[in-house]
Amino acid sequence: MPRPPLNPIIALRRLRVLPRWVRRVDGAVARRINRRRTPGAVDTGYRRLSEAANHGRLWFALAGALVVLGRPRAAVRGVASLTLASIIANLIGKRLFGGDRPILKDVPLGRRLRQQPTSASFPSGHSASAAAFATGVAVEWPKAGAVVAPLALGVIYSRLHVGAHWFSDVVGGSALGVGVAAAGKALVPAPRRPAKPEGGLPVTLPASPDGAEVAIVVNPSSGTSVRRPDPVPVLERRLPRARIVTVGEGQSLEQVARDLFAAEPRPTVLGVCGGDGSIDVGAHVAREMGVPLLALPGGTFNHFVRSAGVETIDAGIDALQAGHGLRVDVAELRIDDEADVTVLNAASVGIYPDFVALRERYQGTWGKWIASLIAAVAALRTAEPVEIVIGGRRARAWSVFVGVNRNHPAPVTPLQRARLDDGVLDVRILHAGARIRAVASLVFARRAATVLRGIGVAPGPSAVDAFETDELVIEVRPREGQPPGLAHDGEVELEAAETPRGRRRGYVSRIRLVPLGLEVYSPRY
């Protein structure tokens, strides 16, 4: 269908504003792209990528992914930069400069969009949004920005490939997007890392200057997505008498830790170097054996270890050698009548377990960072609400998060404790509703969500339930004949379609707080 002509005044304005050499470059680039023959799959891919970015849908999905990954600030800055850049490009730039779009008959048929844009051409709104989002994310989280940047460049080029814009349009839009994000950084600098959680009862724990009677399990598969030196040489140098065991491929960290207590002499301290999942397993074994835990950072996020103030392996060893520690709250999770497992940070049903399962599927091919983004977007796009019963009330929800102790109130997902010993579980339920509203509620803080509700983007107050308790029982009903998964501390406890003892039905999960239930070495003594 031919594109309706623009107002001749707008077209004339573009001719006067843009120098002749710019228009010559535009024509040359368009001819070169249109003459180049590409496989149909490539044309289809660029067309779908371009359409996925319509109205910012792609970037909102990625923002939700960033929140699931524990970086709500990066999501908020990316979306805020995108929103402002889009407003400037579409409501101001196009009216000031305007201009006609490329002639549709020059664009190969297989590349054309299903619905051709009819607005003014300069600047490209898609390019402005893509550049603004990628730059805004990079301001808060450079590694994620490096992952998002190729996707943003793909969207920007796709506007040329499908014949929706001239080269100068995408250059102008990209410059606008980067400029908006840079201005945002200057006006609202990226904040310093949030203050570490407070609390925890200071206790004197067994001191071991040389590692005597200390057993340490190292999980080398943790934190493979970040560059981290091998911890074993440091441990051997500073704790020469410690028994250090590395978990081999196919081995169970829990079984390796238990075997250490079956040998003589029996350890009086259990150390674990790994990510949140590994530390969680170590905490469970340490509590069972009645010994303190030496938690050492060796993963990607290290939520619990950082909460305890152990920023580096050396800091943890310092606390061990001095005998400084804390007693902190933990939780115990039981599924049906299975044995209790220890929870250090949070347990969840719904979107997050789906994300973790997908991430593990892609991680071997793409690495953890890219796999996490792919998995989070896929989970947010394909997730279905779960049916739950809490306190006799039935509901459909996108997610149920249960955090150990009060968490910072920014998103719906508890990710960072505010204290280590306040004696409560922080429960947040995101009720089922429109998917875009679910993503918005995952991304924005509660105060920002109040503003967004006024323009119809974020869900209303009734869509999110938040309360505190010391024990919670959740009955999870089957979803399409299969029960949804359950995760805690970054690890899947039950995958979707899996239940205890192989039963294809729902299950009941019980989580209760255990006040001061774990002794952990900490320099914050």
In the DSSP assignment, the letter for residue 112 is S
Angle, helix 435-443 to helix 57-68, in steps of 10 degrees:
50
Decide if 509 contacts 486 (C-beta within 8 A): yes
Classify domain 346-515 at the CATH topology level. Answer: Tumour Suppressor Smad4 (2.60.200)
Digit-coded pLDDT (tens) for 76-106? 888 889 888 888 888 888 777 777 777 777 7
Local confidence band at 120 (pLDDT 50, 70, 90 cut-offs): confident
With tokens 């107002």, the residue in question is 7
Domains 8-187 and 209-322 share a fold: no
On the question of pLDDT at 6 being above 50, the answer is: no
Give CA–CA dist 282/329, Å, rounded.
15
Check residue 15 and give its pLDDT: 53
**Conformation bin of residue 478: beta by default, left when phi > 0, alpha when psi is -120 to 50:** beta
Q: Could you tell me which residue, 210 or 361, shows the higher pLDDT?
A: 210
Tallying the residues shown for the chain, one arrives at 525
The topology (CATH level 3) of 8-187 is Vanadium-containing Chloroperoxidase; domain 1 (1.20.144)
> What pLDDT, in 10s, does the model give residues 129-172?
899 999 999 888 888 888 888 889 989 988 888 888 888 888 88
CA distance 487 to 381: 19
Residue 388 contacts residue 475 (beta carbons within 8 Å): yes
d(C-alpha 212, C-alpha 321), whole Å: 10
| Top-confidence residue, 464 or 321 | 321
Task: Return the higher-pLDDT residue of 221 and 382.
Answer: 221
pLDDT band at 259, cuts 50/70/90?
A: very high
Distance from C-alpha of 491 to C-alpha of 486, rounded to nearest angstrom = 9
> Can you give the pLDDT at residue 447?
43
Q: Which residues pair with 479 in a beta bridge?
A: 482
Q: How far apart are CA 107 and CA 443, in angstroms?
A: 38
Average per-residue pLDDT for the chain: 79
Tokens read off for 211: 């590692």
Q: Which two tokens stand for residue 302?
A: 């290290």
pLDDT at 87: 87
What ranges do the domains of the chain cover? 8-187, 209-322, 346-515
Write the pLDDT tens digit of every residue in 267-315.
Answer: 999 999 998 889 999 999 999 999 999 999 987 778 889 888 898 999 9
pTM over 0.85: no
Superfamily of domain 209-322, CATH level 4: Probable inorganic polyphosphate/atp-NAD kinase; domain 1 (3.40.50.10330)
